[in-house]
Amino acid sequence: MALGYDGTLFILAFDHRGSFKRKFGVGDDATPEQMETLRDAKRLVWEGFQQALEMGAPKDQAGILVDEEMGADIAREAKDLGVQFAMPVEKSGQPIFDFEFGEEFGEHITDFDPTFSKVLVRWNPNDPQEEKDAQGPRLKRLGDWLRDNGRLYLFELLVPATDEDLARVDGDKDRYDTELRPNLTIGAIKEIQDFGVEPDIWKIEGLDDAGDCERLSETIRTGEGRDGVCAVVLGRGADDAKVDHWLQTGAPVDGYRGFAIGRSIWSDEVDAFVDGSRGREEAARNIGENFLRFVNVYRDAQR
């Protein structure tokens, strides 16, 4: 199985778990009634995605990212309908990557049979080496298992600023994003590759400069067998204008193949539905329209 992915991907991401519970003021000791509310909110997003398909989103390129805890039924429905879908492997909310289901991670992947298996990893080259040494072998183990079993590896990389990074930009997070994060992201990718971790698709925080996108694309494709590796842009919950800019910057670059956006599409609509200010049908339609708008922004930028 060759490394990489040669299609375009427009992913509606709603695999959030810990943050999704906090959004509703729910802790790990959620009651059955609270869990049903959470599952219904996820189903609303799924209904919005289906609306987007009806409105013209390309089924062969569109997909979802959903979790097992609150979206197991949705994942199975997506499978039955032939919709591409990804599922997370990582334990939610952990600063250091670990498997959500421990030694049984492979059984869960096999059971649901997702198109992509996804990890979320926080990695900054300025992090302590012991943190990297803890994550690297686990991420390689997952990648090796996926490769051995003919499955695709979707790697979401976040590069949070260290205290020292923020001090260099006087605490300005926008300056961190622009001045420091591009080089740190490229450095993190190289370190992760050095551990023998070989994703098919890198899910990357948006970059403001096309030159940085080109350098990133070159980095993920440098090395034997990596010619087909690609990147997709994540939304990070930013407003439409910021996400549009990230998509427009990355889309024309060879090696970028789409996006995986979540909260920027559905967060406000889910809130409005839950508090009763928006009906279900309207909220789902708005989610679909939001998703389709980003698809069109990306496609227009490609042209």
| Arithmetic mean of pLDDT over the chain | 97
What is d(CA 228, CA 201) in angstroms, rounded to the nearest whole number? 9
CATH code of the domain containing 104: 3.20.20.70
Q: What is the model's pLDDT at position 250? A: 98
Reading the block at residue 101, the tokens are 């289901």
- 3-state secondary structure string across the chain: CCCECCCCEEEEEECCCHHHHHHCCCCCCCCHHHHHHHHHHHHHHHHHHHHHHHCCCCCCCEEEEECHHHHHHHHHHHHHHCCEEEEECECCCCCCCCECCHHHHHHHHHHHCCCEEEEEEECCCCCCHHHHHHHHHHHHHHHHHHHHCCCEEEEEEECCCCHHHHHHCCCCHHHHHHHHHHHHHHHHHHHHHHCCCCCCEEEEECCCCHHHHHHHHHHHHCCCCCCECEEEEECCCCCHHHHHHHHHHHCCCCCEEEEEECHHHHHHHHHHHHCCCCCHHHHHHHHHHHHHHHHHHHHHHHC
pLDDT tops 80 at residue 26: yes
pLDDT of residue 5: 97
**pLDDT for the residue numbered 284:** 98
Distance CA 118, CA 138 (A): 13
**Lowest model confidence (mean pLDDT) among 25-34, 111-120, 196-205, 251-260:** 25-34
CB 25: neighbour CB atoms within 10 A?
Answer: 7
Question: Is residue 56 in a domain?
Answer: yes
Share of the chain above pLDDT 70, in %: 100
* Within a domain: 194: yes
**pLDDT at 294 (0 to 100):** 98
The whole-number average pLDDT for the span 278-291 is 98
Pairing of strands 256-261, 84-88: unpaired
Residues near 179 by beta carbon (within 8 Å), at least 6 away in sequence: 169
Tell me what pLDDT residue 185 has. 98
Asked whether the predicted pLDDT for residue 27 surpasses 90, the reply is no
Taking 90 as the threshold, does the pLDDT of residue 1 lie above it? Answer: no
The pTM of the full predicted model, rounded to 2 decimals, is: 0.97
**Is 175 inside a domain boundary?**
yes
- Specify the pLDDT at position 119: 98
* Structural domain boundaries, residue 294: 9-302
pLDDT tier at 148, thresholds 50, 70, 90: very high
Tokens at residue 148, please?
């051995």
101-122: per-residue pLDDT in tens? Answer: 999 999 999 999 999 999 999 9
Whether residue 2 lies inside any domain: the answer is no
In a domain, 168, yes or no: yes
Specify if 122 maps to a domain: yes
Number of folded domains that form the chain: 1
* Count of positions (residues) in the chain: 303
Residue 1, in any domain of the structure: no
Are 185 and 150 in contact by the 8 Å Cβ rule? The answer is no
Q: What is the mean pLDDT of residues 209-232?
A: 97
| pLDDT for position 30 | 87
